[in-house]
Amino acid sequence: MCMKDYGAKKGIGKIRIIHLIGQKVSFARRSICLCMRILIWKEQEYC
């Protein structure tokens, strides 16, 4: 019983860590896209 509970908690912990990493990656990707868009927009403004 205790071992099963521990395994379930460990599994939930892993899922939570993966979810957190995924959120950070998607946030980084979004900010990079935003930076690229601003750069392109500024280049068009200068041309």
Distance of alpha carbon 14 from alpha carbon 20, whole angstroms: 10
Tens-binned pLDDT, residue by residue, of the chain (47 aa): 566 777 777 888 888 888 899 999 999 999 998 989 999 988 887 76
pLDDT at site 2: 65
Instruction: Determine how many CB atoms are found less than 10 A away from the CB of residue 20.
Output: 10
Distance of alpha carbon 33 from alpha carbon 24, whole angstroms: 14
Residue 42 in tokens: 């500024």
Distance of alpha carbon 12 from alpha carbon 22, whole angstroms: 15
- Does the model's pTM come out above 0.75? no
pLDDT at site 10: 81
Distance of alpha carbon 31 from alpha carbon 23, whole angstroms: 12
